[in-house]
Amino acid sequence: MSSMNGSKLVVNGVTKIFKMGSGFSRINITAVKDISLEIDLAKGEIFTLAGESGSGKTTLSRIILGIIEPTYGKVLYRNKNIFAMKRNERRQFIKEVQVVSQNPFEAFNPLKKVESYLFKTAIRFGLARDKKGAIPHVEKALKAVGLSLAEINDRYPNELSGGQLQRVAIARSLITQPSMIVADEPVSMIDASLRMSIINLIKQLNEESKINFIYITHDLATAYYVSHKIAIMLKGEVVELGSIDLLTEPLHPYTELLRTSIPEPDPDKALEAIDKELVISKRNFDSDFACKFADRCPSKMKICEREEPKNYIVNGRIVKCHMYSNKGIKMTNSIQI
């Protein structure tokens, strides 16, 4: 497409404020706050978004996909603002950027057979002329996720198990051979063994076809296994961003908390009960403190209550924490990595 040159996806200072509460008594929820990211599509990156439940991962991904409009900021895909695209540009965008949504039970219309999504995707994006021609494409995609057309043929969403649906959703996103897939917890309902084969598939696609992924997950182990970069989110903000290796030696206290909370598949190493203080003390929708983590931070300082931490560059990553005000380089504007 001539109109879409450039090879970057740029998320520029995106903020999303939801209005909550019904009718006229309402609170505002800042689900995503001033986030900037950049993905070089040509390079082929797997970018993990991890973080607290409710921290705005899904929201951010939906903004990137153009499903919800941000309150402030914009998203540029190959130099085009995705919210101001013309019809054909939008279509091209959809062909190139695909989605796997978080809840597989909601992702398919309960009144339609699931295979229809696969076939339609193949046909509508010109991979095949008709259903018959689409069969190989569909089969291939299904096989990659451990399914076969025979198995899902003629079935409605409620006739498939959760993991199966999730795999169908992944298969669907693969069909157009996109340049980027935004996958929101794509393997959460899949058993360990299959999960690995899918993760391996992602890895392979990334390496061989340079497909970019935005991989949203709580499973940090698999994230570590496949990703190149990671952003840790907390209450709408990115608190730490950098190469995936940051998981091994986190800088931000929250990342640290995450890392230590990962359970191990070993009955002897049963997790100890977590210190309650660390989890809930003040999980309000909007924290009273300037730093969103201040109320449960073990190394909280006075300043954390008053002043919002800036982004500091430390060891090639960005950390949003006062602890690094001396050690790191203060960033003035948006994150650039």
Partner 1 sequence: MNLLKSYIFPRLVQWVIVILIGTTVTFIIPRFSPVNPVDVVMASLASYQTTDPQAMLKLKESLEDMMGLNENIFVQYFKFWGRLLKGDLGPSLARFPIPVIRVIGNAMPWTISLLLIATILGWLLGMVLGTFAAYYSHKSWSKILQVVIMALYPVPYYVMALILLMIFAYIFPIFPLFGGVGIGLKPSLSLNFILSVIKHGFLPAVSIILVSIGWRFMSQRALTSTLLSSDFIVYARIAGVRNRKILFYLFRNSLLPQATDLALSLGGIFSGALITEVVFSYPGLGQILYSAILQGDYNLVIGISVFSIIGVATGALIIDLLYPFLDPRIRYS
Partner 2 sequence: MPIVSAKNLRAYYIVDVYGFKRTVKAVDDISMEINENEILGLAGESGCGKSTLMKVLLGLVIAPLKVLNGQVIYSFNGFEKNIFELSEKELENLKWEVFSYIPQGSMNILNPTRKIGDTFFDFMEPHMEKFDKKYVREIIIQHLGNLDLPAEILESFPHQLSGGMKQRVTIALATILKPRIIFADEPTTALDVVVQRDVIQLLKNIQKNSKNTIVLVTHDMAIHANLATRIAVMYAGKIIEIAQTKDIFKNPLHPYTKYLISSLPKIGDKTYKKSIPGAPPSLANPPEGCRFHPRCPEAKKECSESVPELIELETGHKVACFRIN
Partner 3 sequence: MKIIKDLFKYDKRFSVGFIFVVLILFMAILSFFPPYDPTIPHTFPRDLSPSLKHILGTNSLGQDIFWILTIAVRNSLIIGGISAVISRTLAILIGSLAGYLGGRVDRVISTVCDSFVVIPRLPLLILFAFIFRGFLNPLSMAILLGFLDWAWPSKRYRSQILSLKESEFTNTARFSGAYTLEIIAEEHMPFLLSYVVADSISGFIWAIGMETSLSVLGLFDLSIPTLGTTIYWANYYKSMLLGIWWWIGSPVGALIITVIGLYLLSVGLGDFLDPKVRLQRLSK
For partner 3, the binding residues (CB under 8 A) are: 65, 67, 91, 94-95, 98-99, 101, 103, 106-112, 117, 120-121, 124-125, 156, 158-159, 169, 172-173, 176
Residue of 305, 310, 295, 301 whose CA lies nearest to 257: 295
Residue 272 within binding range of partner 1, rule CB under 8 A: no
For Mg ion, which residue of 162, 281, 283, 316 counts as binding (CB under 5 A)?
Answer: 162
Among the listed residues 59, 60, 66, 67, the one whose alpha carbon sits nearest the alpha carbon of residue 80: 66
Q: Which of 15, 17, 34, 54 binds ligand ATP (CB under 6 A)?
A: 54
Quick note: the x/- pattern for ligand ATP over 184-203, rule CB under 6 A, is: -----x--------------
18 contacts ligand ATP (rule: CB under 6 A): yes
Six-digit token string for 16: 């999303």
d(CA 191, CA 179): 27
Sign for the CA dihedral angle at 105, 108, 114, 119 comes to negative
Q: Does 284 bind ligand ATP (CB under 6 A)?
A: no
> Which lies closer to ligand ATP via its Cβ, residue 56 or residue 73?
56
3-state secondary structure of 56: coil
Q: Is 50 helix (H, G, I), strand (E, B) or coil?
A: strand
Return the number of the residue (53 or 326) whose C-beta is nearest partner 2. Answer: 53
Strand partners, 234: 237
Tokens 């991890």 locate to 50
Write the DSSP assignment of 156-181 as a string of letters.
-GGGS-HHHHHHHHHHHHHHT--SEE
Region near ligand ATP per CB under 6 A, out of 36-44, 158-166, 219-227, 304-312: 158-166
At its nearest, how many Å lie between partner 3 and the CB of residue 105?
A: 9
Q: How many CB atoms lie within 10 A of CB 326?
A: 8
**Shortest Å distance, C-beta 150 to partner 1:** 26
Q: Quote the Cα angle for 22-23-29, to 5°.
A: 50
Picked from Mg ion, partner 3, ligand ATP, none, the partner binding residue 55 (CB below 5 to 8 A depending on kind) is: ligand ATP
Among the candidate windows 16-24, 44-52, 82-90, 167-175, which touches partner 1 by CB under 8 A?
16-24
d(CA 85, CA 78): 11
- Residue 26's Cα: distance from chain center in Å? 28
**Residue 21 interacts with Mg ion (CB under 5 A)?**
no
Q: Is 287 in the site for ligand ATP (CB under 6 A)?
A: no
Residue closer to partner 3, measured from CB, 186 or 242: 186
Binders of Mg ion among 134-153, rule CB under 5 A? Answer: none
Q: Which residues of the chain form contacts with Mg ion (CB under 5 A)?
A: 58, 102, 161-162
